[in-house]
Amino acid sequence: MCGINGIMSLGSHPVSEASDFIHKMNDRIRHRGPDGSGYWTDGSGKLHLGHLRLSILDLSDNGSQPMISRQGNVIVFNGEIYNFKELRERFFSDVTLRSESDTEIILLLYEKFGKDFLRHLNGMFAFAIWNPKEQSLFLARDPSGKKPIYYTNQNGVFAFSSEIKALLELPWVKRESDPESLYHFLTFNMLPPPLTMFRNIYKFHPAHAMIIRENGESDYYSYWEVEYSDKSVATESELCEAVFDGLKKSVSYRMVSDVPVGAFLSGGVDSSAVVAMMTEAASYPVKTYSVGFDGQPDYDELDYASKVSRLFNTEHYEKIVTPSEIADFLPRVVEIFDEPLADATCIPIYFISELARKHGTKVVLTGDGSDELFAGYRNWQKYIRMYPAFHRYSALPLTLKRVIRNVYGVYEEESPRYEILQRAARNEEFFWGGAKSFKESVKKRVLEPEFISNGKGFDSYSVIKSFREAFEVQKLNHTFLNDTDWMCWLGFKFIIPNFYLNRMDKLGMAHSVEIRNPFLDKNFVNLALSVPSRFKTKNDEPKYILKKALEEILPADILYRKKMGFCVPLREWAGEIISSQLHDNLKGFCEEHPQFNYGELRQLVTKLDKGEQGVTNRMWTLYFLISWYKKWMN
């Protein structure tokens, strides 16, 4: 895993001082690649590429970047191609290679197949390839969205980077807030592509590629889509075998490394399964890492993690986070997330990443992604049960639905039931995965009327609707897809890349740690999403087929215990800090950013002071947003 930067002039003249800018961009994200840095420019000075290296494969200088092929094509690459050895054997067994790296294989594949070579890659990646013959730049992001690409195209200059903070080193890139991004962020605590919260700075969608030419013309397109298969006649035992073998192969791929690979271990189903399969594949003792909170047993899974460690003989390390450490970290969290992500779970992940690096681990595997693919969240079960009733209610006359909504809203406008009635009255989708913060009705109060009026086209359902429309296209060819499949689709397409993978990339890279996700192998994703919903939830057991498949390697008290994951005692430890910061800064923030209604937000802070648990997440969002604006917009 590395960092990439680039500047390309789209006119006839080179960008003044571009070399200095690339070096500044490299310096700004040096945490992504502390093992080396590189710079390259073409003869005209119109194209400049920078690279930061975290050495994982081919630790010699032969794997350094930017890398130039014999044909003169140049690449900067962030990520890992797990099947590169297979591709090397299949296509280039008669070619004398300069390195043992996957980077060289990418270049050779590009030269052999053109842009269609992406179909051969199995891995996580973000890269840019300069083609001097065509005078074009080809960029691509991996199918799941593990590795980021941010870009801006202004004043005849195209620039890209692994992180926004590097683009902000360019003097023509202004720190201007994007109103639509703010509106959606208040709902989801994250942003869908191409939004980033910055006006004129964008992020790639997963599974997308771009070709940009020297005259400024560009093509931006999707190169991969989920491949569903009809498994309606498959037996439970057949599906168990397929899931087990698919995950085992995916874990094996992600053990490809010239440095030892460790794991984050919560003691839950997913991370425990990954560790079990890692220890079988590894030729060395696997290091595992867990995190707990001092004096907070309700947030502590260390006993389960320790049990799994003993079961598979891992070299296990634990971090006990204290209240003072959280207090010290909170003000710094926004330094990591230049693209805002208001998620308190970033706290334990930050500390566990720090622990891994402290003990010499550069690469770790995690269990992220399984819950979205297999409908593993228990709170998803209520949606699955309620969907038939929602469909029946939605079929009622529109006038009647609006009357019911309006009457109910007089009494409980902030309740989840009102939000459901609102969605039905507007003919919207029932399940908005990731919408955990401010409801639409509340946003219209906490944002000033002028902001709402100026952004009259803003509607956070438009985010969900775009994913629903793409899912409906899938249903045309795969009529077996149902409501549970829709939820898993939205989880994979929206929540995983913009929440979990964004979080892991930023927090891992803050400590120069590469994080790999076996459940998000593109072939395993196709399999998991194709599992019939009756096997994803059975006998009210979420993630049923995965747990059943893992019974041969994990004990029942790991497989069937209540899910916890990496949680944090936010209200218990940080509630007072958040409240204090909001009291001190809220009024000044609203004066500086008049789109916010101080009176309405002040009422929410008062509810937090009274101990109302229902406002904690929204207050974390507000705390984060104030800190984020102060860091990145002032």
Q: Provide the total of helices (H) and of strands (E) in the chain, helices listed first.
A: 27, 17
Q: Among candidates 308, 372, 241, which has minimal Cα distance to 561?
A: 308
List of residues 6+ apart from 402 with CB closer than 8 A: 425
List of residues 6+ apart from 192 with CB closer than 8 A: 184, 463, 466, 494, 498
DSSP bridge partners of 141? 126
DSSP structure class, residue 344: T
In the residue annotation, 2 being an active-site residue is answered as yes
Return the amino acid letter for 148. P
Give the other-Cβ count within 10 Å of 247's Cβ.
Answer: 24
Per the CB < 8 A criterion, the answer to whether 522 and 224 are in contact is yes
Residue identified by tokens 């980033």 is: 196
> Using CA atoms in the order 17, 18, 19, 25, what is the torsion angle rounded to 10 degrees?
120
Distance of CA 612 to the CA centre of its chain: 30
| Residue 239 tokens, joined | 């599906």
DSSP bridge partners of 317? 289
φ, ψ for residue 537 (rounded to 5)?
A: -125, 120
Choosing from 2, 240, 346, 590, which is the catalytic residue?
A: 2
Q: Where are the beta strands (DSSP E) in 73-135?
A: 74-81, 123-131
The strand pair at 2-9 and 47-53 is best described as antiparallel
CA distances from 173 to 164, 210, 317 (A): 10, 21, 43
| Residue 301 tokens, joined | 């899974």
Per the CB < 8 A criterion, the answer to whether 188 and 443 are in contact is no
Q: Among candidates 145, 484, 385, 395, which has minimal Cα distance to 475?
A: 484
Q: Is 268 helix (H, G, I), strand (E, B) or coil?
A: coil
Per the CB < 8 A criterion, the answer to whether 65 and 125 are in contact is no
Give 147: exposed, middle or buried? Use CB within 10 Å, 0-12, 13-18, 19+: buried
Q: In terms of residues, how long is the chain?
A: 634
Per the CB < 8 A criterion, the answer to whether 48 and 15 are in contact is yes
- Rounded to whole angstroms, the Cα distance separating 195 from 178 reads 8
- Rounded to whole angstroms, the Cα distance separating 250 from 244 reads 10
List of residues 6+ apart from 630 with CB closer than 8 A: 334, 585, 589
Angle subtended by helix axes 522-530 and 236-253, to nearest 10: 160
- Rounded to whole angstroms, the Cα distance separating 628 from 174 reads 16
- What is the separation, in whole angstroms, between the first and last Cα of the chain? 31
Q: What is the per-residue DSSP string for 128-174?
A: EEEETTTTEEEEEE-SS--S--EEEEETTEEEEESSHHHHTTSTT--
Per the CB < 8 A criterion, the answer to whether 287 and 260 are in contact is yes
- Rounded to whole angstroms, the Cα distance separating 188 from 402 reads 25
The strand pair at 67-68 and 514-516 is best described as unpaired
Catalytically annotated residues: 2
